[in-house]
Amino acid sequence: MAATAAMALAAALLALFGLSRGSPQGGLPSRDFPPGFMFGAATAAFQIEGAWNLSGKGENIWDRWTHQHPDWVADGSNADVACDSFHRFKEDVQALVDTGFDFYRFSISWSRILPRGTVDYVNEEGLWYYNRLLTELMAHRITPVVTMFHWDLPQPLQDLGGWPNPVIADYFEDYARILFRHFGDRVKYWITINEPASIIESYANSRLGAPGLDDHGVADYQASHTLLKAHAKAYHLYDKYFRKTQKGRVSITLNSAWLEPRTNSQEDRQAAERARQFYFGYWAHPIYSKIGDYPAVMKERIMRNSLAEGRFRSRLPEFSPQWVKFIRGTADFFAYNHYTTRYAASGTEGEIPSLQRDSGVIRSYDPKWPSSASSWLKVVPWGLRKMLNWIKKEYGNLPVLITENGFSDHGGLHDKDRINYFVSYLQELLKAIYIDKCNVFGYTAWSLVDNFEWARGYTEKFGIYQVNFTDPNLARIPKDSAQALRKIIKHRALVPNLLQGEMPEPRVVLVT
């Protein structure tokens, strides 16, 4: 019986740590994370801070969008209070401490620092708030990873046209200078912009979020052009004036699902690669490739479609040789958000014109993939490993920081599905590190706390800490997933028994 039990245990371990269907070959050689590997959690200012019109903060595009169109938010809610982190940031930091995180990725509200979006008026109370947050983090030896822009453009700048207007890149450079001056002595990891791919969607589809435009296939391309210029300006600004004394690192966070061919046909394999260029190379190629500029397949297809529509030039703006050179190489590490995988097949769908139609790709999900509370988020762990390998192959083995990875549900403290998500994706991450030699130095769980989930309001929960939004105290209560991550971080390994409910009773986090 003992031998039989041992064989059963071995089989169970192989099932847990072995191959997933569709994944690259190879089991898990080690459950230990490499020396120096960092664990963190992330949030975004608009989703947690609240205090939307207090202490000098100006209006941003998400304030405007949620107030004018509550019917476009799943539960009709807004982020006027959210987690009230503007007043309760010490509770957030205590949650980080209790879980054992090495770093905290948070964003700064542009409108809280520059209420008008420009440097003609700097809000001292906004500076004071983020200085207090940084002081609290440093007191607990938690490294700040600071995002300058996480979607919440000041409304006065949107009134000028928003990101499609090239002048916004200059205003972003000015904003970056303020942040470097006031916080750069303590911030060693900067993210200029979070997910340009997500930002431009709201210029193409008004119901997806702020600013709420429907100028698909035109304004979204113009916005991306400015976003890349803004990022490069901030990077060179740091390089020229701040790097020598502050000794930090600067990057931009890009996001994409892994795009897997729907079939093994040459047509679908080509479609999948084309999709990777349209939905990721679009921003990665100008920065990380050796030649810079947009991917050739994008330039060719969009030009051809534009001329066929009777236009005299491409809807995709063109970078001059000077801009190509200026943008290329403007990252000190690769910051990447990953959640899920999609199938890609050759075909056309989407608005005319649109990025989707220009790509000539139809994206879909396998109905057998496990679901989350978010319609777009399917649990496909092997996609992370494949994406990391593609990044390595396409752009070289740069140091990679995974800046978001997480799972949504409808709430509750006993979140076994979230634990399973974290463990399965971390398994694939370890395979990428040990088997494929991908240079990944850190992992960020999204999100630290339940928060305002953009157009989904409070209907979807990503936090490892529960926040009861009907409770005036808005207490942070650790879910089972927080306890599981605490074990992983403590042992720097995927320890056993993470899915067996061996979690202590939750403790409310209240800090005065």
Average confidence (pLDDT) per 10 residues, the chain, 512 residues: 36 35 60 98 99 98 98 98 98 98 99 98 98 98 99 98 98 99 98 98 97 98 98 99 98 98 98 98 98 98 98 98 98 98 97 98 98 98 98 98 98 98 98 98 98 98 97 97 98 82 44 48
DSSP string, 147-185: EEESS--BHHHHTTTSTTSTHHHHHHHHHHHHHHHHHTT
Residues with a known catalytic role: 195, 404
The pTM assigned to this predicted structure is 0.93
pLDDT at 498: 75
Q: Which of 142, 149, 38 is nearest to 97 (CA)?
A: 142
Rounded to a whole number of angstroms, the distance between the first and last alpha carbons of the chain is 57
Distance CA 405, CA 447 (A): 8
CATH of domain 29-406+423-445: 3.20.20.80
Q: Which of 3, 27, 31 is nearest to 15 (CA)?
A: 27
pLDDT at 265: 97
Classify the C-alpha dihedral 424-426-427-431 as positive or negative.
Answer: positive
Cα 386–465–253 angle (5° rounding)?
A: 40
Edge-to-edge strands, sheet with 258-261: 258-261, 341-346, 361-364
Distance CA 445, CA 163 (A): 28
Domain boundaries, the chain: 29-406+423-445
- Structural tokens at position 260: 């897997």
pLDDT at 26: 52
pLDDT at 505: 43
pLDDT at 499: 60
Q: Which long-range contacts (CB under 8 A, 24 or more apart) does 67-71 make?
A: 69/212
pLDDT at 145: 99
